[in-house]
Amino acid sequence: MNNLNIWQQLVEQSQMRWREVLEATSVHIQLVFFSMLIAIVLGITLGIIITRVPKLTTIVLGGAGVMQTIPSLALLGFMIPIFGIGVKTAIAALFLYSLLPIIRNTYTGIKDVDKATTMAAKGMGMTSMQVLLKVELPLAIPVIMAGIRTAAVINVGTATLAAFIGAGGLGDFIFLGITRGIDGLILLGAIPAAILAIILETLFSGIERWTTPKGLK
């Protein structure tokens, strides 16, 4: 099939299914949002913990790394007996896939903070918690945000597989296009997903610039 026919199919399918596309995009955003929210909270927390308890570093980073090596569909399958078929399983799997970049970058960002800076802060009478919140985390923000950005982009793409377990999202159109042999339907799911990934990348880049201390910009 030539490219002209593919784009004609895309236009036709868009005209017929634009409401469905909007609904699927909404579901896709929800899957990404909730899984990323959990991953950010837990990932940053674990990243901080392993900077304080070095013995846990190998276990935590190794465990998160193992999750990344499991094929997406297999991980979704493993989650089904726990959460059942649907949105909960998709969110759980996406959350696990998003953990590694966030944990690793949080750990790296904090460990790379100049020791002289932290020692000076302690010398001024700051507690360990104050040093973390007022010195280490602000200085580590660029590295942490880079990890979150990476996780978000991966998350958007992986979320298309949620369609295989009945969780909806833009993957529905990709799956339907593959089963029916309609390339226009595949693009109807793939293009909005790509646009969503670009939007998230831009959004997190903006947040990174906004939260980065002026001296580091």
In a domain, 206, yes or no: yes
The angle formed by the CA atoms of residues 193, 197 and 200, to the nearest 5 degrees, is 135
Q: What is the pLDDT of residue 90?
A: 93
Q: What is the pLDDT of residue 23?
A: 94
CATH number at residue 79: 1.10.3720.10
In a domain, 8, yes or no: no
Q: What is the pLDDT of residue 12?
A: 84
pLDDT-based confidence at 214, cuts 50/70/90? Answer: low
In a domain, 172, yes or no: yes
Per residue in 109-142, pLDDT tens?
Answer: 999 998 898 989 888 888 889 999 899 998 999 8
Domain residues for 38? 15-212
In a domain, 5, yes or no: no
In a domain, 2, yes or no: no
In a domain, 53, yes or no: yes
Q: Are 72 and 141 in contact (CB under 8 A)?
A: no
Q: How far apart are CA 26 and CA 18, in angstroms?
A: 12
Total number of domains in the chain: 1
pTM to 2 decimal places: 0.88
Q: How far apart are CA 5 and CA 189, in angstroms?
A: 17
Which residue has 């280490």 as its token pair?
136
Q: How far apart are CA 96 and CA 35, in angstroms?
A: 8
Q: What is the pLDDT of residue 147?
A: 94
Residues 6+ apart with CB under 8 A from 139: 109, 113, 114, 117, 213, 216
- The secondary structure element, H or E, covering residue 14 is helix 3-52
What b-and-e string marks burial along 13-38, b requiring 16 or more CB atoms within 10 Å of the CB? beeebeeebeebbebbbbbbebbbeb
Per residue in 29-82, pLDDT tens?
Answer: 999 999 999 999 999 999 999 999 999 999 999 999 998 888 888 888 888 888
In a domain, 75, yes or no: yes
Per residue in 136-195, pLDDT tens?
Answer: 998 999 899 999 999 999 999 999 988 888 888 999 999 989 888 888 889 999 999 999
